[in-house]
Structure 1
Amino acid sequence: MDWIQVMGIVAGICTTAAFLPQVIKTWKTKSAEDLSLGMFLLFVIGILLWLSYGIILEDIPLILANSLTLILASTLLYFKIRY
């Protein structure tokens, strides 16, 4: 593994982990009132495209980061629709 892949993995960890506090807060409070539905719809579409791009390139950091981000963002989107 070269330094470019390590950099990609660290970047993916940082950007994916940034969603955890919001997911946890929304889950605990059962409130997604302050989340923008339009923003999360657009964001999830963008993450799906990034994931597809990573799969086409067979780029492991892109695939891992965007898979996890898609799960977290989709969870928030679900909470927004449900709550």
Structure 2
Amino acid sequence: MDNTLLIGFAAGVLTAISTIPQIIKLIRDKKAQDVSPVMYFVLLAGNALWCYYGLLLDELPIIVTNAFSVVCDMLMIILNYRYSKK
């Protein structure tokens, strides 16, 4: 694996896992008052576009890491809906 591909994967993985602490906190506390659903919808749209961009360029690091981010964003939206006060 060349350095460029390695750097791409490393950057993508670090960015993709950045939401995991928030997901864990939300699951643990079962409270979503401090989470902005709008931010995660915008993030979801951005990450989905990055996936599409990666597909257009046929760049695996962009596709894989942003697809994982899309899953995390959708999970945050679902958890936010589930744990927000009605």
Normalised to the residue count of structure 1, the TM-score between the two structures is 0.93
RMSD over aligned CA atoms reads 0.9
Task: Report the Cα distance in structure 1 between the residues aligned to 2:26 and 2:41, rounded to whole angstroms.
Answer: 17
Q: In the alignment, which residue of structure 1 is the partner of 2:76?
A: 76
**Cα-to-partner distance string for 1:22-73 (whole Å, 9 max, x where unaligned):** 1111111111111111111111011111111111111000011101111111
Unaligned stretches of 5+ residues in structure 1: none
SS at 1:18's partner residue? helix
Unaligned stretches of 5+ residues in structure 2: none
Task: Report the Cα distance in structure 2 between the residues aligned to 1:41 and 1:69, rounded to whole angstroms.
Answer: 12
Task: Report the Cα distance in structure 2 between the residues aligned to 1:50 and 1:18, rounded to whole angstroms.
Answer: 16
Q: May I ask how many residue pairs the two structures share in their alignment?
A: 83
Percent identical: 31
- Structure 1 stretches (4+) deviating beyond 4 angstroms? none
Task: Report the Cα distance in structure 2 between the residues aligned to 1:13 and 1:42, rounded to whole angstroms.
Answer: 19
